[in-house]
């Protein structure tokens, strides 16, 4: 199994998790809305939905990148010659690698700070650090996704 295929498997697993968390968010919101009608709201819904949204966003980024699902504005690059276009594709992947490496490191540092300080949510007293660690791992997986993408750009250039 090639490097990019292994990364794609991990990305798919995280994306599936984010899908289940999104379903949880939807069901929780609907249940809370219905129960509010009967004056029995679910305590901590706002916190759970907020933390779940962080998981959905963080866990879906690597997969979306691997399937090229992000919005691309290419009105400038479509006028480039193929070699120039591939050069800029590679440069943008490198910039992404540095950016997401920095973000992943900072997220892990923040998660560790939250773990040490015991930072928790206001109502349910849920710790923040496990979610921050999970997002940090996803950011590093995004780095690996961009590395695999950069490798594919270079290999296409040699053909």
Its sign, for the CA torsion 91, 68, 5, 81, is: negative
Residue 78: DSSP 8-state: G
pLDDT, one tens digit for every residue, the chain (159 residues): 789 999 999 999 999 999 999 999 999 999 999 999 999 999 999 999 999 999 999 999 999 999 999 888 788 888 899 999 999 999 999 999 999 999 999 999 999 999 999 999 999 999 999 999 999 999 999 999 999 999 999 988 554
3-class SS at 48? Answer: helix
Cα 105–111–117 angle (5° rounding)?
135
pTM attached to this predicted model? 0.91
Domain range list for the chain: 3-158
> Residue 45's Cα: distance from chain center in Å?
22
């Amino acid at each position: 199994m090639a490097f990019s295929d292994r990364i794609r498997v991990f990305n798919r697993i995280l994306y599936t998790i984010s899908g289940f968390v999104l379903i949880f968010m939807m069901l929780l919101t609907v249940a809370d809305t219905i129960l509010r009608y009967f004056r029995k709201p679910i305590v901590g819904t706002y916190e759970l939905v907020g933390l779940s949204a962080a998981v959905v966003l963080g866990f879906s980024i690597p997969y979306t990148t691997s399937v090229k699902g992000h919005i691309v504005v290419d009105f400038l690059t479509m006028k480039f010659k193929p070699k120039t276009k591939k050069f800029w594709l590679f440069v943008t992947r490198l910039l992404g690698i540095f950016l997401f490496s920095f973000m992943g490191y900072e997220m892990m540092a923040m998660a560790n700070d939250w773990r040490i300080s015991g930072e928790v949510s206001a109502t349910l007293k849920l710790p923040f650090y496990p979610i921050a660690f999970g997002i940090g791992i996803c950011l590093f997986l995004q780095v690996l996704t961009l590395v695999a993408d950069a490798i594919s750009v270079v290999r296409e250039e040699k053909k």
